[in-house]
Structure 1
Amino acid sequence: MNEIRLFKIGELSELFNVSVDSIRYYEKVGLLHPIRNTNNYRLYTVDDVRVMNTIRELLDLGFNTNDILKFEQDRTLSHMINMLEDEEKAIDTQMALLQKKKNGIHERLVSIHQALSKDTSETITLQHFPQRECMKIVDGDMPDVLINYTLAHFHKDNLEQTSTIGVCDCYVLDMNAINQEGNDYRTKAVFFYAPHLPLQTNDILPEGDYLTLAYRGGFHKSLHLVPKMLQYAKEHHLKVLGDPIEFCHIDRYETSHIDEYLIELEIRVS
């Protein structure tokens, strides 16, 4: 007659490379059922070893202790199939969310790297742009310090999160007025533009020819670069059709170093 094999708690701990406290916890929640010898020491059976194998495997698959306990209390094939199918669905959902996050990160990187590829030598060029959709959040002058508050309020009212990292915050400039700080033009409107990211849009930039110029550094440079662009338009017999726009490809949302800012100025002409 074969002798029934029993295991001390230390043997079980070493066999499964888990702490003694973990084994005691599994006993406490009802997963393990040791017997006591004459000296009141815990002794674990081969079925406890089976349960430990099950615990290890199901924990690795993402199940928690309560899931495992419910299975041990109703250890049937249908229960196991349902457990695995439910976990598979949960993993599919998690993978979809992770893929969405990965896409968002990739799109932001594309936007930033594309901005960094721009010629920032402050050379004026004439470019043709198609109609561009954007999200206007302010139609009028807006102090710079209130932009983030206004954006947060816009999010709240529209129940949709709007990205800022890798997205252009853009300012329609009033050439006839300087802001309170004296370092940039006042604004006539504020909008966000994101060709690589999903964006809730409510306005458009018209198709047409635009004088463009890109620079690195603070917004104060626009004060002398916009007149330079207007003079260029005059010398090349171009009619100015709209106000200058600052496209802030890289600014406070991506860096605190002003010398890393990358601003593009555009003026629509014909």
Structure 2
Amino acid sequence: MTQSHQPEQTFKIGDLSRLFHIGADSIRYYERLGLLHPVRDPKSNYRLYTLDDIRAMNTIRELLALGFHTDDIRRFEANRNLDAVTDLLEQEMQLVDEKIADLTKTRADLSARLAAIRDDLFRDCSGRIVRLTLPERPCLMIVEAPMPDEMISYELARASDDFPEKIATIGCCDCYILDPTALNAAGTDYRTKGVFFYSSHLNLPCNHVLPAGDYLSVCYRGDFSQSLDLVPKMYKEAERLGLAPAGDPMEFCHIDRFETADRAEYLTEIQLPVADAAKK
């Protein structure tokens, strides 16, 4: 304690608690940190807080509200002068600027995910097959081998260790290269020959490129088993248009297990790369 005599105006711990709307334990905590310096009543031995403690409590409350830690406040209180206060505020401003940059990046990421999902809700899912001319599309190849559907989450987690950036799933397409000659173990969909992630909205780490060219495309809602009916139709449509397959069909799962547990809400696009049959 810094003084042995009772000052003219002092306050008990309950007075500070009511004045600042905090518990007595918090006041004792600030005292242990050296931020408050109560004296002892020579008669009752109760803690008595001075007007300077009131000033310190105002400073503590103000700086905590600005985001400072108690260690910062303790260092400032130990050396309270104009240089110290300007340094303190400048350092916190730098931290706030960094937080703003991080939050701005996070907000852009959230906005991109929402835009992807909202765009998907307006896709034509009538079963109509259309021809698209698409540019090169960077993507993230996870597996270039047959893989059961239920292993995708495991392979995604394993692949995440290879990239410093996080791999997005919500609002991003998990995509499957299909083997149209074989079914999966359950017989409900085609076997996969590879798995990759793609997004036209989000920035993903990339290690693979889907080639530019013409593709036949069809979208549907609901269970993946519909691919068993649609893929043969796409091959027939290619033949009708005088086109030949230029690669395996691919499932782009715009909305699936990562966004919803309701299979009726799933939204899948099948793309079949094609080329002029006369040039094949």
- Normalised by the shorter chain, which TM-score bucket? over 0.9
Q: Answer yes or no: is 1:146 the counterpart of 2:151.
A: yes
* 1:42 Cα deviation after fit: 2.7
Query: Secondary structure of 2:101's partner?
Result: helix
Partner of residue 206, structure 1: 211
Q: Distance in 2 between matches of 1:65 and 1:204?
A: 51
Task: Pick which of 90-99 and 3-12 moved more.
Answer: 3-12
| Runs ≥4 residues deviating over 4 A | none
* 1:159 Cα deviation after fit: 4.2
Matches within 5 A, 1:154-233: 154-233=159-238
Select which of 226, 233, 244 maps to 1:239: 244
Select which of 81, 99, 102 maps to 2:86: 81
List per-residue Cα deviations over 1:241-265 (Å, max 9, x = no partner): 2221111101111111111110001
Partner of residue 4, structure 2: none
Task: Pick which of 203-212 and 190-199 moved more.
Answer: 203-212
Task: Pick which of 18-27 and 247-256 moved more.
Answer: 18-27
Query: Secondary structure of 1:85's partner?
Result: helix
What letter is aligned with 2:225? H
Q: Distance in 2 between matches of 1:234 and 1:249?
A: 27
What letter is aligned with 2:201? H
Task: Pick which of 213-222 and 12-21 moved more.
Answer: 12-21
Select which of 25, 29, 34 maps to 2:38: 34
Partner of residue 3, structure 2: none
Q: 1:189 to 1:42 in 2, by over 3 A?
A: closer
Q: 1:48 to 1:131 in 2, by over 3 A?
A: same
Partner of residue 7, structure 1: 11
Root mean square deviation of aligned Cα:
1.8
Q: Distance in 2 between matches of 1:169 and 1:256?
A: 15
Matches within 5 A, 1:58-137: 58-137=63-142
* 1:189 Cα deviation after fit: 2.0
Q: Distance in 1 between matches of 2:9 and 2:22?
A: 20
Task: Pick which of 62-71 and 19-28 moved more.
Answer: 19-28
What letter is aligned with 1:6? T
How many pairs align? 268
Select which of 53, 56, 60 maps to 1:55: 60
Unaligned runs of 5+ in 2: 1-6
Unaligned runs of 5+ in 1: none
List per-residue Cα deviations over 1:104-136 (Å, max 9, x = no partner): 111111111111110111111122212211122
Q: Distance in 1 between matches of 2:255 and 2:88?
A: 48
Partner of residue 19, structure 1: 23
Query: Secondary structure of 2:232's partner?
Result: helix
What letter is aligned with 1:13? S
Q: Distance in 1 between matches of 2:118 and 2:55?
A: 54
Task: Pick which of 251-260 and 136-145 moved more.
Answer: 136-145
Task: Pick which of 151-160 and 64-73 moved more.
Answer: 151-160
Q: Distance in 2 between matches of 1:96 and 1:187?
A: 40
Q: Distance in 2 between matches of 1:246 and 1:117?
A: 18
User: Percent identity among equivalent residues?
Assistant: 51
Task: Pick which of 233-242 and 88-97 moved more.
Answer: 233-242
TM-score (norm 2): 0.89
Query: Secondary structure of 1:221's partner?
Result: helix
Q: 1:127 to 1:154 in 2, by over 3 A?
A: same
Q: Distance in 1 between matches of 2:19 and 2:58?
A: 10
TM-score (norm 1): 0.92
What letter is aligned with 1:20? A
Q: 1:241 to 1:29 in 2, by over 3 A?
A: closer
What letter is aligned with 1:181? A
Q: Distance in 2 between matches of 1:157 and 1:29?
A: 44
Query: Secondary structure of 1:7's partner?
Result: coil
CA contact (8 A) 2:163 2:205 kept: no
